[in-house]
Amino acid sequence: MSRVESLLRSMTIEEKIGQLNLVTAGQTVTGPVVHVETTAEIRAGRVGGVFNLWGREAMAAAQKLAAEGTRLGVPLFFGLDILHGHRTIFPIPLAEAGAFDPLLWERTARVAAIEAAHEGVSLTFAPMLDVARDPRWGRIAEGPGEDPLVAVKMAEAKIRGFQDRALEAPTSIAATAKHFCAYGAATAGRDYAAVDVSERALHEIYLPPFRAAVEAGCAAIMPGFNSLAGVPMTAHARLLREYLRRDLGFDGVIISDYTAIAELIEHGVAGDLTDAAALALRAGVDMDMMSMAYVRRLPEALARGLVDLADVDAAARRVLLLKERLGLFDDPYRSIAAGEYSRAAHRELARDAARRSITLLSNDDILPLSADVRRIAVIGPLADARAEMLGPWYSAGAAEDCVTILEGLRFALPNCEVVFHAGAGIEDDDASGIAPACDMAAGADVIVLCLGEAEKMSGEAASRAMIGLPGRQRELAERILATGVPVVALLSSGRPLAVSWLVERARAVLATWFLGDMAGHAIADVLTGRYNPSARLAVTWPREVGQIPIFYASRSTGRPWNADNRYTSRYLDLPVEPLFPFGHGLSYSHVVLSNLRVAPSDISADGTVEIVIDAQNIGAFETEETIFVFVRDVVASIARPLMELKGWVKIVFSPGESRTVALTLSADSFSFPDENMKPKIEPGQFEILVGLDADRKNLLATVLNITST
Ligand code: NOJ
């Protein structure tokens, strides 16, 4: 009999339930403070895993209590949110998504896993796979952006990076795909709010990343805080038990979100904590994070017949199997993971990831900075804001490891005079610094204006109804723009900001998001032209809040927008188009595409097609270009989105270089869920659209026929 089975046999019901309990150690606070005597609970055998704890000593002390101080010595696992690096902090996921580079996504996760495993962490609550189309929602910062294919690719890459080839490898950590599912569709972008999306939207947009996560062998899944059409995800038996377990065959651990089981009462589907515990367990939630509902109430729920012992056994078995897979029974301290690693190499990767995540939104011939620039005024509250560079969810990252924008520029331009004034705070109302900042800026050759959000303004519980610049920053910017000195504006933020007015008037605008430890160096690399910007927007950038939700893959209407016809789908006071489309991002070079063709032009439902295009770099810089392939099913039984991303190719072009670029798609890329949500290909015409962003006007188009035979 396997170790796990014989262990299960020797466990009391209380010990089994203890395995289902996940409690915080409070080294970092990621939810409401709930009073739990962690040490006493571990000693009593009532804890299966501990989170928010890292560092060898702390971890070993807790592990000793479990592995050496409880009757059966079942080791704990240690969980932590590692969204974009552990010690070494990389760009926030939304920014890194813009690199459109699965290999980079995997490498940063691998490094994070190495650093975290080194400090005793065995599981992370990542990757976050919530497709999000509403930048009011602060958690858009944590995920892959608006597109399901990007989310799928990110799921695969991050899980490979965290888990590596096998979980028992000393530097592997278990990944938790979250938040299952559609949490990103929170009503009006308000965190934790209810979600009500169609079954079709689930199957087309929100479920595919989780399917990919399961196929990639993800060890755990976390249901979201949200309800879905009235059913909280923590109690969603149909999606957890039927879809994940039965249909996808997911056999890993389902871990509740923080106090989410107790919240079933507030949702209005459970009368008390016993009810809540029973609902969650019956739905398939194996572990209870911070509700203490399982340890306190499952015994009663069992006695009252609300749950079966078989459900407790199955959940405990999955937790024990995870520990077995992690090698914790043989090496509870994961001592071999403690080997050294090169922090310098990790920081080098952080710099590369950061510059590959910077999106050049506009550039009126001011960047890269000319060699003649002698005096630069660095102005704004984000210019020298070390801690803000980390962004939300910075795990064990430290402000002192961050390079500020000011430092990066001074380091990169030793022969320039680089003067600095914050001008204003990020959020406060004090405008007294604006005039001195303008005085300082007046004599400069160029102003680098560093604006944006504080890191705590995105991530969890950080929704914003107005997504402009907070505090007095707009006033600062207007006054700086009025000096007449050319302005390069940098936007540090966890979301697109509504700043059309700035884009109209600044000579260049860059989305610098939250780039992590090496922010300053990476930004200097881009401004000076040492690195030619290559990132693309993984999310549509709105002009104003009123356009939200806004995303490229919308459906047509019976009355598509037409500026000359009032009775079409439009606003009276704003264009329908975004400020910048999905995929937008400039470089210092210019690649032109021509001669799009498909071969063959007719395929059958089991065929493949090669999409081919000629591309030439007509600029003077080496450039890394991302070429997107979108598809539109022209006539279908169910109206299809105007465009759906089906793939992309990233290519480095030397100056002047011409290349023929090809991407192969199989016919199943052209399928969509039928009325039973099963994939179906309807023969007919498909438009193939290829280009550098999702603005239809910029795309080349051709037609592919899928035949019925
Ligand atoms: C709540 C968040 O929703 C979730 O993403 C996170 O993993 C847990 N807190 C634990 O910190």
pLDDT number for residue 31? 80
Q: Specify the pLDDT at position 38.
A: 86
Domain made up of 591-706: CATH architecture? Sandwich (2.60)
CA of 468 from ligand 1 middle (Å) equals 27
In this structure, what is the dihedral angle of CA atoms 162, 166, 169, 174, given to the nearest 10 degrees? 40
Best CA proximity match to 685, nearest among 631, 612, 630? 631
Q: How far is the CA of 253 from the centre of ligand 1 (A)?
A: 16
Cβ(24) to ligand 1 under 6 A? no
Is the CB of residue 460 below 6 angstroms from any atom belonging to ligand 1?
yes
- Work out the angle at residue 593's Cα, subtended by the Cα atoms of residues 587 and 599, and round it to the nearest 5 degrees: 135
Please give the distance, rounded to the nearest whole angstrom, from the Cα atom of residue 192 to the centre of ligand 1: 12
Ligand 1 test: best mutation among 222, 255, 261, 394, most atoms within 8 Å of CB?
Answer: 222
125 close to ligand 1 (CB < 6 Angstrom): yes
How far is it, in rounded angstroms, from Cα 396 to Cα 88? 8
Smallest CA separation from ligand 1 atom 7, residue:
125
Most ligand 1 atoms within 8 A of CB, residue of 258, 263, 288, 393 to mutate: 258
Please tell me the CATH code under which domain 1-78+248-259+274-341 is placed. Answer: 3.20.20.300
Ligand 1 in contact with 139 (CB < 6 A)? no
258 lines ligand 1 (CB under 6 A): yes
Task: Report the top-level CATH class of 357-537.
Answer: alpha beta
Structure tokens at 682: 């309807």
Choice from 81, 287, 458 to test ligand 1 binding pocket (greatest atom count within 8 A of CB): 81
SS3 state of residue 452: strand
3 state SS of 674: coil
Q: Tokens for 504, please give them.
A: 């109209």
> How far is 164 from 36, CA to CA, in rounded Å?
34
Total residue length of the chain: 709
- Residue 487: name the closest of 503, 501, 507 by CA: 507
DSSP 281-344: HHHT--BEES--HHHHHHHHHHHTTSS-HHHHHHHHHHHHHHHHHTTTTT-TT-GGGG----HH
Cα separation of 140 and 190, whole Å? 11
For the chain, give the percent of residues with pLDDT over 70: 100
User: Whole-angstrom Cα distance, residue 378 to residue 384?
Assistant: 9
Report residue 322 as tokens. Answer: 């995870």
Measured from the CA of 31, which atom of ligand 1 is nearest?
9
Cα separation of 684 and 190, whole Å?
A: 41
Which atom of ligand 1 has the smallest separation from the CA of 179?
5
Atom of ligand 1 nearest to the CA of 81: 7
Task: Please work out whether the CB of residue 142 comes within 6 Å of at least one atom of ligand 1.
Answer: no
257 Cα to the center of ligand 1, angstroms: 6
Q: Cβ(372)–Cβ(357) under 8 Å?
A: no
Q: Report the distance separating Cα 485 and Cα 446, nearest Å.
A: 6
Residues in contact with 559: Cβ distance below 8 Å, sequence separation at least 6, in sequence order: 565, 567, 568, 569
The angle at the Cα of 79, spanning 78 to 83, to the nearest 5 degrees, equals 145
CB 527 within 8 A of CB 368: yes
Identify whether the C-beta of residue 322 lies closer than 8 Å to the C-beta of residue 252.
Answer: yes
Q: Which atom of ligand 1 is nearest to the CA of 126?
A: 7
**666 strand-pairing partners:** 608
Beta-carbon contacts of 447 under 8 Å, excluding residues fewer than 6 positions away, are: 376, 377, 378, 379, 441, 480, 483, 485, 486, 487, 488
Pocket test for ligand 1, best of 234, 257, 287, 463 (most atoms within 8 A of CB): 257
- C-alpha–C-alpha distance, residues 64 and 510, integer Å: 49
What is the CA(256)–ligand 1 centre distance, in A?
A: 9
* CA gap 78, 117 in Å, rounded: 10
Q: Please identify which residue in the block is written with the tokens 């550039």.
A: 363
Q: Give the β-pairing of 508-511 and 684-691.
A: unpaired
591-599, strands of its sheet edge to edge:
591-599, 608-617, 658-666
Assess whether the C-beta atom of 162 lies below 6 angstroms from ligand 1: no
Examine domains 1-78+248-259+274-341 and 357-537 and report if their fold is the same. no
Ligand 1 centroid from CA 223, angstroms: 10
Ligand 1, atom 4, residue with closest C-alpha? 257
Catalytic residue among 164, 257, 288, 352: 257
The pLDDT score that the predictor gives to residue 709 is: 65
**Torsion angle, alpha carbons of 537, 541, 547, 549, to 10:** 30
Establish whether 330 is a catalytic residue: no
Strands (E), 380-465: 417-421, 446-452
Instruction: Report CA(121)–ligand 1 centroid distance (Å).
Output: 16
Say how many Å lie between the CA of residue 460 and the centre of ligand 1: 8
| 178 touches ligand 1 (CB under 6 Å) | yes
- What is the CA(17)–ligand 1 centre distance, in A? 22
Parse the chain into domains and list their residue ranges.
1-78+248-259+274-341, 357-537, 591-706
The distance from CA 149 to its chain's CA centroid, rounded to whole angstroms, is: 13
pTM (2 decimals)? 0.98
Which residue's C-alpha comes closest to atom 3 of ligand 1?
A: 257
d(CA 400, CA 397): 9
Q: For ligand 1, is residue 226 a contact (CB within 6 Å)?
A: no
Determine the 3-state secondary structure of 218 from DSSP.
Answer: coil
Q: Name the nearest CA neighbour of 53 among 83, 77, 21.
A: 77
The predicted-structure confidence for 525-554, as pLDDT tens digits, reads as follows 999 999 999 999 999 999 999 999 999 999
150: number of CA atoms within 13 Å, CB side?
A: 30
DSSP characters for 56-109?
A: HHHHHHHHHHHHTTSSS-PPPEEEE--SS-SSS----HHHHHTT--HHHHHHHH
In the predicted model, residues of the chain with pLDDT beneath 70 are 709
